[in-house]
Chains A and B, each alone.
Chain A
Amino acid sequence: MNIDPSFILAVWNFGNLTMLGWLAAAALPWIIHRWMRRPQHTTHWAAVDLLQAAIQNSSRRNQIQQLTLLAIRTLVLILLVVAAADPFSSNTIFGSALAERTHRILIVDQSTSMNCSQDDGTRLDRAKTLAQKLVDSGNPGDTFSVIGFSHTAQNVLGRPNRDKSLVLAAIRGLSQSHTVANVSAAIQGANAAIDSSDKTVAQYEIILFTDLGRNSWTLDPSTKAQIDALAQRAKLTLFKVGDQQRDNIAIVDLTVEPTIILQDQDVEIVAQVRNFEKRSYDALTLELFVDGQFRESKRVDLSANTAADVRFITRFVSEGSHNVQVAVTNANDCQALDDYRWLTTKVLRQLKIACVEGTPHAANDLARALAPGQPSPDNSSIGIVPQVIPASRLPQLDLTNYAAVFFCDVADLSSNETAHTTRYIEQGGNLVVFLGENTSPVQWNELVRDDGTPMLPVQIGSLVENEEVHFDPLDYRHPIVAPFRGRPASGLMHVAIWKYFRLATREDYPAAEIALAIDNGDPAIVVGPCVLGRVAVVALPCSLAARTAVGTPWSSFAVNPSFLPVVRDLVDELVGTSQQLKGNILVGDPLVCRWNSISQPTELRMRMPNGNLRQLPLPGSEDRGQIRFAESFTSGIYRLTANGNVIETIAVNLDPTESDLTTVNSVTLPTSLRMPSTKVAQFQQSDSLQRYAKCLLAAVFLLLIAESTVAWLLGRR
């Protein structure tokens, strides 16, 4: 078989002039040897017989030693040239022959912190560059998968691919995400990639490129176990990109007070700005924008590793959704994404509340508490507008018109009423149940939603009638009673209670919270979430109508000065918080938009923060009036339009944990995770190739020792 020598030279690394030059250097010892053998000194000599005899005696041994030394020196040079030529590189014939076929799964962190700028671009840029180098240096038979991960993991190539150009294109296409890195998702993605791999692959290598952000890589035991299990299937390697500590200033929170925002009322926008650096910042400028219009600018000094609240007072002159943005304009830090934060506020002209009473006048005290000084609020009123409605009208009532519904001494609910009510709650409505003498505990306890879970967060027990007891504020921990802290004159602690329903939290409702208790330990007010809405149960009636056996009211709560603020706090907690929560989420959380189900749109679109419009499928009959949008991967304002009109605005913000650019110490990571140098060249060779390279180096080392020893022995003579 004829082999073209130029082909061999081309595929082996010696096929260039530099390497051939180095190879010629291997002849140096011979040249030096010959040169050293030429006479450098001439003298007459008398004892020639002795000299000749000495030469004869030692010539054979000398020749052997000289040749040995010469051979060692030549071999050292040849091996060094071979090492420099890197014949075992995967790009050479030798390398290809020795390398085992490998499926390399490249996992690139796309989380927010990877947007941090460094000298050579962002961390993501660096990760992509490293990944591309690794692909370039791969063996011809290797296959690749490319997985980008942040809060989820996505295999952007689909099936493993051998086409390097496609793999490189997939890496180049990885974009920055605004979400948090989810290590578990990355592991699951890697497992899936292995499962989909060709079974003829000899080995798997998983290479992670990440900044090892502390918020994501502080691993719990289960995740560590997942990594160890993955290491049983593949060799795990992690390339850390990014510096240990980078400067960063971030707005980590943006809130509004009060949570229920009414038209033409002053509100306070509170921006929390945090300095994650080790140095102080003076005169940081924060600017407030409402609906894109500049409103106000404030300055703040921040010490190292501290946070500060910056407060803006503003008001909204029109009802509806408004977009609030606060920006740090002179941070000059490495992470620009978190220098902004958005907030959507729903400004109301009226806050309608339905007060459904089971017995006549049961809701009167409540209505007065909600709208004091307004004997009969109507549609022209501004502020909270309570409407007292008999329970018999509940089936005809469109609850979606009300921000909250109060049930006052309602005996029970029919199945239609239950479905009606649970639907309202699940879509984000708020329900408060004041129990009373007509309440049927058994009936209420059996009320369940469609999925079988209970509607109320508590189990209503028997009536308790005894000596006078009082409230226990539970250290004023809950927001409903928190304003009473330090205000004994508010009367909350003086409410006399003689009769109430004993409430018990349910094991199948773990998110329920006791906001207020009775001093014997029984709960008095329990609040719990229910899908998108919230439900509160009060163990007492909201009027004085109900009487004990001795003729006293069940409690003095309805006439106590604390009744009004408690009721208002309940509304704030339920309505205000839910509204703010609905309009403000973190990236990666699904957007749930709700509208009046009566007006079914014919076209739904989502305008993304970058201005692009995304056509959305119309919801089915089961989801009338609401839609979920899961692709909230970018921070900013999302606007849902129905038939061309904006019907919902939602602010999506970064997870503030991503603003802390501190990295974890590698010793906390599982030992199964290798962390080589970030120089891909040192990593790219497979184990077998590295073995040969190590043997080469060991041979050079041994030869150098042998050369020194032989030379020393000859020098002694």
Chain B
Amino acid sequence: MQVSEHLDPESISRLQGLELRAKAIVDGFLSGMHRSLQRGQSVEFTEHREYAPGDDLRYVDWKVFAKTDKVYLKQFESETNLVCHLLLDISESMSYQGDLSPLSKLEYGQCLAAAMAYVVLHQRDSVSLTTFDNAVRDMVRESGNPAHLRKLTDCMQNAQSQQPSDLGGVFHELSKRLVHRGIVVVVSDCLGDLDSLLSGLKHLRHQRHEVIVLHLLDPREVDFRFSRSTLFRGLEQHPTVLAEPRTVRKAYLALLAEFLERLQAGCRSLQVDYQFVRTDEPFDQVLRRVLVSQKTQRGPR
């Protein structure tokens, strides 16, 4: 059975409990890797181990090789110096779930955030969680303890909001509150004032955080394929709209493309890692894209 079959949203949606989902995602993800993408940022040597194909030659202990004619790699004492701040949008718009997706955007985002937390904790780094809509609703401080995952998942599972989002305002606030510089992972549908959002991101970047934006959209929001006349009940206090989808689809897709283009361009200019995620996309693909992108941007450690 393919790994991706375990990690697609439909399979994950059958699992009960966010922690279990997170572990399933990460375990499946890691077992599919040929080698670890995680290289600790530690500097203190602990032991040697034999070279295995695929290992980075930069960590070969050439002195040992000269003496023994065997290839050993140097292993370092792991020292946590990375903090990952997970920012999960729990506004009402995140509760949307189209008929093609097994998970709502919020559920998908929770799985994704939990999986990332598990990955971070798995490599003995610290992770924090903040849920928000138009304000910060809950916050779990960073910790590297593996038991910390339970706190995080409990926090995420209890998160629910009927409020609209204010990404820009929340990011400004968090820029002041996140004292430890680290990686900020924003999980959101990014619907709202785009200029405010970019302004908030800019503030985070100003605080020297590395920022990853995981932009979640439901497949229906992406392709807008409705065949019949439809009454759209607006979330986040938006009005109800009656539309003939076939007649407005072209204009909608054009506007969506323009919005995404502006968002991507803004992220690029701020050196924010932007990842567009459809909620019917397998989780391992998303995780792989994120990690590969991080490796590309930050280089090997």
A interface residue numbers (CB < 8 A to B): 36-55, 57-58, 62, 65-66, 714-715, 717
Contacts and interface: CB of A to CB of B under 8 A. Distances in A.
Given A45-B96, A51-B232, 12 more contacts: A42-B233, A43-B230, A45-B238, A48-B235, A48-B238, A48-B239, A50-B259, A51-B248, A53-B251, A58-B247, A714-B246, A717-B250
Chain B's interface size range is 35 or more
A45 B105 CA distance: 12
B15 interface: no
A40 B232 CA distance: 11
A36 B228 CA distance: 9
Interface in B46-105: 92-96, 98, 105
B221 A47 contact: yes
Contact of A717 (B92, B191, B232, B246): B246
A45 B248 contact: no
Nearest to A39: B231
A57 B241 contact: no
B232 A58 contact: no
Nearest to A52: B241
A45 B241 contact: yes
Contact of B250 (A48, A50, A52, A58): A58
A38 B246 contact: no
A58 B253 CA distance: 12
A41 B248 CA distance: 16
Nearest to A53: B255
A66 B247 CA distance: 10
B233 A717 contact: no
A164 B59 CA distance: 118
A465 to B, nearest CB: 118
Q: Which 10 A-B pairs have the closest CB atoms?
A: A48-B238, A46-B93, A54-B252, A54-B251, A39-B231, A45-B232, A48-B234, A40-B228, A58-B251, A57-B251
B230 A39 contact: yes
Contacts of B242: 39
22 contacts: A37-B229, A38-B229, A43-B231, A44-B95, A44-B233, A45-B238, A46-B105, A46-B189, A46-B191, A46-B221, A46-B236, A47-B256, A48-B235, A48-B236, A48-B239, A50-B256, A53-B251, A54-B249, A55-B248, A57-B255, A58-B248, A717-B250
A339 to B, nearest CB: 76
Most buried by B among A54, A57, A714: A54
A43 B232 contact: yes
A52 B239 CA distance: 10
A51 B252 contact: yes
Contact of A62 (B94, B229, B231, B248): B248
B265 interface: no
A412 B111 CA distance: 147
Contacts of A65: 247
B243 A55 contact: yes
B93 to A, nearest CB: 4
Contacts of A54: 248-249, 251-252, 254-255
Contacts of A53: 251, 255
B226 interface: yes
B217 to A, nearest CB: 8
Contacts of A50: 252, 255-256, 259
B5 interface: no
Given A50-B255, A57-B251, A42 B243 contact: no
B249 A717 contact: yes
B138 interface: no
Given A39-B229, A40-B229, A62 B244 contact: yes
A54 B241 CA distance: 11
Interface in B249-291: 249-252, 254-256, 259
Given A41-B230, A57-B255, A62 B247 contact: yes
A42 B240 CA distance: 10
Contacts of A46: 92-94, 96, 105, 189, 191, 218, 221, 235-236
A41 B229 contact: yes
Contacts of B228: 40-41
Contacts of B256: 47, 50
Contacts of B236: 46, 48
A147 B231 CA distance: 75
Most buried by A among B247, B249, B254: B247
A45 B191 CA distance: 11
Nearest to A40: B228
A280 B189 CA distance: 94
Contact of A55 (B105, B235, B241, B259): B241
Contacts of A52: 239, 241
B230 to A, nearest CB: 4
Given A40-B229, A42-B231, A717 B259 contact: no
Nearest to A42: B231
Contacts of A45: 96, 232-235, 238, 241
A45 B230 CA distance: 11
A59 to B, nearest CB: 8
Contacts of B231: 39, 41-43
Contacts of A55: 241, 243, 248, 251
Contacts of B255: 50, 53-54, 57
Most buried by B among A36, A51, A65: A51
A42 B99 CA distance: 12
Nearest to B220: A43
Nearest to B252: A54
A38 B242 CA distance: 9
